[in-house]
Amino acid sequence: MVAIRDLPLKEYVLKGNAACAGCQDMVALRHAHKAFEGNVIQIVPACCTSVVQSLFPRTGLGIPVLNTAFMASGATASGVRAALRAKGKDDTQVMVWAGDGGTFDIGIQALSGAFERRTDFLYVCYNNQVYSNTGTQRSGATPLYAQTTTTWYGKQEPEKLLDLIVAAHEPAYQATANAAYPRDLYEKFKRAKEIRGPKFIHIFIPCPQAWNYPVELGVEIGKLAVETGYWIMWERIGDEFKLGTQSKRFQDPAKRKPIEEFLKLQGRFSRLFKPKKDEKKIAELEAYIQHRWDILLRTFT
Ligand SMILES: Cc1ncc(C[n+]2csc(CCOP(=O)(O)OP(=O)(O)O)c2C)c(N)n1
Ligand code: SF4
> Any residues with Cβ below 6 Å from ligand 2, and which?
19-20, 23, 25, 48, 52, 128, 132-133, 207-210
Ligand 1 lined by 100 (C-beta under 6 Å): yes
Note the residue count of the chain: 301
Share of the chain above pLDDT 90, in %: 96
221, 206 in Cβ contact below 8 A?
A: yes
User: For 67, phi and psi rounded to 5 degrees?
Assistant: -85, 135
Q: Where are the domains of the chain?
A: 4-300
Mean pLDDT (whole number) for 23-32: 98
Ligand 1 lined by 101 (C-beta under 6 Å): yes
Ligand 1 lined by 178 (C-beta under 6 Å): no
**What is the model's pLDDT at position 260?**
98
13-27 confidence digits (pLDDT tens) = 999 899 999 999 999
Ligand 2 centre to CA of 29 (Å) is 12
Alpha-carbon span 201 to 199, nearest angstrom: 7
Q: Whose CA is nearest to atom 8 of ligand 2?
A: 23
Helix (H) or strand (E) holding 98: strand 93-99
Name the pLDDT band for 55 (thresholds 50, 70, 90): confident
181-238 confidence digits (pLDDT tens) = 999 999 999 999 999 999 999 999 999 999 999 999 999 999 999 999 999 999 999 9
Pick the CATH number of 4-300 from 2.60.40.350, 3.40.50.1860, 3.40.50.970, 3.40.50.620: 3.40.50.970
Mean pLDDT (whole number) for 67-84: 98
Residue in 51, 86, 43 with CA at minimum distance from that of residue 67: 43
**What is the model's pLDDT at position 182?**
98
